[in-house]
Amino acid sequence: MIAKLKGLIDSLGEDWAVIDVGGVGYRVFCSGRTLRRLGAGEVAEVMVETHVREDHIHLYGFIDAVERDWFRLLTTVQGVGAKVALGLLTVLSSDELVQAIAAADKAVITQAPGVGPKLAARILNELKDKVGTIALAVAPGGQPAAGPEGPGGVVSDAASALVNLGYQPSQALSAVSRAAGRLGEGADVEALIRGGLSEMAPVDARGSV
């Protein structure tokens, strides 16, 4: 099974790239987010998920392991095939997926092509307890595995900090996501941590947080 490809980007299409590895061209289906990071004639490395069926073998490429893991998670939901999963990863970043799932926001999920209200509800319901496996990924020692470009971005970093303080992952994600919605896109990790703590504080104590 092919797990990674490194080679010259031979050509690019609407949802695919051909990667030349030692003279062999591999056609790899990708999200728009990954395709925007690739350039024809440039050397690139992509993580690969291989799907083997009776009538075909398809390769799906991802700019990093985080996007690949989201693809794997999304395709565990009934009704979410590879095409729909790539569509979700094209229109929503890791941070946006974390926030949408934590907040049970169907409107955000239905932005992806092929995702109607019923499928969006199923995605939110089935992933609400699983999203932490990606969004709250931590490195050895309990520190966040990455910064703004890592798993879940600033939202997951802030939520990871709250988990390290003893809060439950689902509780931390929900609180930080609410804080992110209230504080806006410019909020940094420190502001989100304070905001998350405020969200979880008793109503009469929030003024002092």
| DSSP notation for 70-131 | HHHHHTTSTT--HHHHHHHHHH--HHHHHHHHHTT-HHHHTTSTT--HHHHHHHHHHHTTTT
Query: Checking DSSP bridges between strand 16-21 and strand 4-12, what pairing results, if any?
Result: antiparallel
Above 80 in pLDDT, residue 52?
yes
User: Average pLDDT in the 22-32 region?
Assistant: 97
Higher pLDDT, 207 or 134: 134
Evaluate if pTM is beyond 0.75: no
What's the mean per-residue pLDDT of the chain?
A: 84
The values of phi and psi at residue 168, to 5°, are -70, 145
Does position 44 have pLDDT exceeding 70, yes or no? yes
The predicted structure's pLDDT at residue 89: 96
pLDDT at 208 over 50: no
Rounded Cα–Cα distance for residues 199 and 193 (Å):
10
User: Is the model's pLDDT at 166 over the cut of 80?
Assistant: yes
For residues 170 and 51, which has the higher predicted lDDT (pLDDT)?
51
* CA quadruple 59, 106, 128, 195: dihedral, nearest 10: 120
Query: Hey, which of 31-40, 98-107, 190-199 has the most confident mean pLDDT?
Result: 31-40
Q: Does the pLDDT at position 9 exceed 80?
A: yes
Question: Does 66-204 match 4-63 at the fold level?
Answer: no
Handedness of CA 112, 115, 116, 121 (dihedral sign): negative
As a CATH number, domain 4-63 is 2.40.50.140
Q: What is the pLDDT of residue 147?
A: 36
What percent of the chain lies above the pLDDT cut of 90? 53
pLDDT computed for residue 144 by the predictor: 39
For the cut 50, the answer to whether the pLDDT of residue 190 exceeds it is: yes
Cα 207 to Cα 197: distance, rounded to the nearest angstrom: 11
DSSP state of 54: S
Higher per-residue confidence, 111 vs 167: 111
Do residues 182 and 194 touch, judged by C-beta distance below 8 A? no
Locate the domains of the chain by residue range.
4-63, 66-204
184: left (phi over 0), alpha (psi -120 to 50) or beta: left
Instruction: Return the CATH architecture of domain 66-204.
Output: Orthogonal Bundle (1.10)
Give CA separation, 51 vs 15, 56, 60, 151, 165, in Å.
Answer: 16, 8, 8, 24, 40
Q: What does the pLDDT look like over 128-162, one tens digit per residue? A: 877 765 665 533 333 333 333 333 478 878 888 88
Handedness of CA 54, 74, 85, 81 (dihedral sign): positive
pLDDT of residue 55: 87
